[in-house]
Protein backbone atom coordinates (compact mmCIF):
# COMPACT_ATOMS: atom_id res chain seq x y z
CA UNK A 1 0.00 0.00 0.00
CA UNK A 2 1.32 3.41 -0.99
CA UNK A 3 1.19 6.12 1.66
CA UNK A 4 2.59 8.98 -0.39
CA UNK A 5 0.77 12.26 0.29
CA UNK A 6 0.40 13.20 -3.38
CA UNK A 7 -0.96 9.73 -4.17
CA UNK A 8 -3.55 9.93 -1.41
CA UNK A 9 -4.56 13.48 -2.36
CA UNK A 10 -5.07 12.51 -6.02
CA UNK A 11 -7.07 9.46 -4.99
CA UNK A 12 -9.29 11.50 -2.67
CA UNK A 13 -9.78 14.29 -5.20
CA UNK A 14 -10.84 11.78 -7.85
CA UNK A 15 -13.25 10.09 -5.44
CA UNK A 16 -14.79 13.45 -4.51
CA UNK A 17 -15.15 14.34 -8.20
CA UNK A 18 -17.00 11.14 -9.06
CA UNK A 19 -19.09 11.42 -5.89
CA UNK A 20 -20.23 14.91 -6.88
CA UNK A 21 -20.96 14.16 -10.55
CA UNK A 22 -23.00 11.10 -9.55
CA UNK A 23 -25.41 13.45 -7.81
CA UNK A 24 -24.46 12.16 -4.33
CA UNK A 25 -26.45 8.99 -5.03
CA UNK A 26 -24.11 6.38 -3.54
CA UNK A 27 -22.13 6.40 -0.33
CA UNK A 28 -18.75 8.16 -0.58
CA UNK A 29 -16.98 4.98 0.52
CA UNK A 30 -18.25 3.31 -2.65
CA UNK A 31 -16.23 5.73 -4.79
CA UNK A 32 -13.24 5.65 -2.44
CA UNK A 33 -12.93 1.85 -2.58
CA UNK A 34 -10.02 -0.18 -3.97
CA UNK A 35 -12.14 -0.99 -7.02
CA UNK A 36 -11.81 2.58 -8.33
CA UNK A 37 -8.25 3.42 -7.22
CA UNK A 38 -6.73 3.75 -10.68
CA UNK A 39 -9.61 5.83 -12.01
CA UNK A 40 -9.58 8.12 -8.96
CA UNK A 41 -5.81 8.63 -9.07
CA UNK A 42 -5.76 9.59 -12.75
CA UNK A 43 -8.80 11.84 -12.41
CA UNK A 44 -7.32 13.57 -9.37
CA UNK A 45 -4.03 14.03 -11.18
CA UNK A 46 -5.76 15.62 -14.20
CA UNK A 47 -7.75 17.94 -11.90
CA UNK A 48 -4.54 19.02 -10.16
CA UNK A 49 -2.81 19.72 -13.48
CA UNK A 50 -5.81 21.70 -14.68
CA UNK A 51 -5.82 23.91 -11.58
CA UNK A 52 -2.06 24.41 -11.84
CA UNK A 53 -2.36 25.43 -15.50
CA UNK A 54 -5.16 27.88 -14.70
CA UNK A 55 -3.12 29.31 -11.85
CA UNK A 56 -0.04 29.76 -14.00
CA UNK A 57 -2.12 31.37 -16.74
CA UNK A 58 -3.68 33.81 -14.26
CA UNK A 59 -0.30 34.71 -12.78
CA UNK A 60 1.17 35.38 -16.21
CA UNK A 61 -1.93 37.23 -17.42
CA UNK A 62 -2.15 39.62 -14.45
CA UNK A 63 1.61 40.25 -14.16
CA UNK A 64 1.99 41.58 -17.68
pLDDT tens by residue, 13-55:
999 999 999 999 999 999 999 999 999 999 999 999 999 999 9
CB contact set of 15 (below 8 Å; sequence gap of 6+): 28, 31, 32, 36, 40, 44
**Number of DSSP helices (H) and strands (E) in the chain, helices first:** 3, 0
pLDDT for 1: 58
Identify the domain containing residue 51 by its residue range: 5-63
CB contact set of 7 (below 8 Å; sequence gap of 6+): 41
Using pLDDT thresholds of 50, 70 and 90, give the confidence band for residue 2.
Answer: low
Using pLDDT thresholds of 50, 70 and 90, give the confidence band for residue 4.
Answer: confident
pLDDT for 6: 87
Count of structural domains within the chain = 1
pLDDT for 58: 96
Q: What's the pTM?
A: 0.83
CB contact set of 26 (below 8 Å; sequence gap of 6+): 19
Amino acid sequence: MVTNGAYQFSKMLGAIFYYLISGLKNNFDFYNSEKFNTRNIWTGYVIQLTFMAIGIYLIIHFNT
